[in-house]
Amino acid sequence: MLRRRALAACTATVAVGALALAGLTGIASAAPAPHAPAPAAQTAQLSPGLLKAMQRDLGLTATEARGRIGNESRAAAVTAGLRYSLGDRFAGARVSGDAADLTVATTDASDAARIAKAGARAEVVDHSLAELDAAKAALDRVALRTAPKDIPAWYVDVRTNRVVVQAGRASAADAFLAKAGVSRELVTVTQAAEQPRTFTDLRGGDAYYMNGSGRCSIGFPVKRGTQGGFVSAGHCGTPGVSTSGYNQQAQGSFQGSTFPGRDYSWVATNTNWTPRPLVNGYGNGDVTVTGSTEAIEGSSVCRSGSTTGWHCGTVQQRNSSVTYQEGTVSGVTRTNVCAEPGDSGGSFISGSQAQGVTSGGTGNCSQGGTTYFQPLNPALQAYGLTLVTSGTPTDPPTDPTDPPTNPGGTWAAGTTYAAGAVVTYGSASYRCLQGHLAQPGWTPPNVPALWQAL
């Protein structure tokens, strides 16, 4: 962990091993249904700063960036429905390209037609996502007892249908797998010389100081009942450590912190600090947070940090594990977004959906690197927190980047709908085509893969 008290910056770079393709048994021949246009209502009010960073880092125009975010939102909705209907045959999903072309994997070839009808490309593979997750969980249990040496990271890779273990030495990988009782049939071992470290002590979204000395970054404002505060990285502080804000005024103290194992914390603030649903845009306009729907593999994602500002890339693998000097952290998401020391705790966001807080990684923003973020939702659940979004009642009345108001009806985010259920939204009625858990933004008019107008 880099708890930096001087201003010297680390600029070390690393070589990252390539991922070998293995374990695929075929791709279904059923062609996906044509993509519906991206819903304009979800993308029209996106932050100019976020769009600017996507243009720079992903080589997009502003129109292409808006379209990509809308397409990825629709792909996430389709994936939720298919994951529910495929059950234990579901083997993961990913998007590719600006059109967010969706591929959904299954262990049963008979599912291909259903996947294609939903608008995705079907891929038939050997192992279900549950099987791969179970293998990775076994590795995590070993690592939590003793952090493995020469094993910087491991993760479930839905593209290759394998658990990928990065290792400095093949013998270290063999010992790790043997201790966990994981079959090599499920695993691809790649050569890697990475030495991940945490990004600590400078502002991400906004800076805060621990006990008046080291600095970290606010991830996302939250509430616990009427108590305001924020989530950040767990390695930034332990319960009882006091904090001051970017202006060096008294702010609050850590109420909970987990690191290693996971990398999240929450800080309760005094009444001088009001939580807002915003991420610092660094002169390009703040980004409004509207929810915390998780982006799937391949989706665009952007990070805000005071050392390097806005940088964007894509989600590489969810459910990754990484070994820092202090121990192993599991359940983080691996990205190709660059970061540098001082970016720790800062916000990861996809469109307007909060994703997580910066944990650590390798490389830098001059030559590129790998960054891991701790997903936000597990942190909210661990501490009983509620994310502050543009819909929070205590927010100012009309933020210019707020989405359109709900027109009324029986549809509601957070509700589980079964296939065949009928809801109203505005003045129209819709029938559910695939069972799913409704998320903010997945309104019936916007996700035709899940809802049919009556």
Q: Is 428 exposed, middle or buried (CB count within 10 Å of its CB: 0-12, 13-18, 19+)? A: middle
Tell me if residue 344 is catalytic: yes
- Which residue is catalytic, options 344, 350, 359, 390? 344
β 121-125/101-106 pair status:
parallel
Query: Among the options 57, 140, 232, 235, which is catalytic?
Result: 235
Q: Which of 263, 286, 395, 402 is catalytic?
A: 263
How far, in Å, are 378, 439, 440, 444 from residue 44 at the CA level?
29, 19, 16, 18
Tell me the backbone φ, ψ of residue 87, rounded to 5 degrees. Answer: 60, -130
Q: What is the rounded (10 degree) CA torsion for 168, 172, 174, 179?
A: -140
User: What is the distance between the alpha carbons of residues 69 and 75, in angstroms, rounded to a whole number?
Assistant: 10
Tell me which residue has tokens 């049939």.
Answer: 185
Phi-psi region of 403 (alpha: psi -120 to 50; beta: other; left: phi over 0): beta
| The dihedral formed by the CA atoms of 451, 442, 316 and 282, expressed in degrees to the nearest 10 | 160
Helix ranges restricted to H, 105-151: 112-117, 129-145
Q: Tell me whether residue 235 is one of the annotated catalytic residues.
A: yes
Three-state DSSP class for residue 88: helix
Distance in angstroms (rounded) separating the CA atoms of residues 341 and 4: 8
Q: Which two tokens stand for residue 291?
A: 């929810």
The pair phi, psi for residue 106, each rounded to 5°, is -140, 160
Strand ranges (E), 250-388: 250-258, 264-269, 278-279, 287-288, 300-305, 309-324, 327-335, 347-350, 353-364, 368-375, 386-387
217 is catalytic: no
In whole angstroms, what is the distance from residue 337 CA to residue 2 CA? 19
Tokens describing residue 270:
């005094």
Residue with tokens 């990775």: 136
Q: Which residues are catalytic?
A: 235, 263, 344
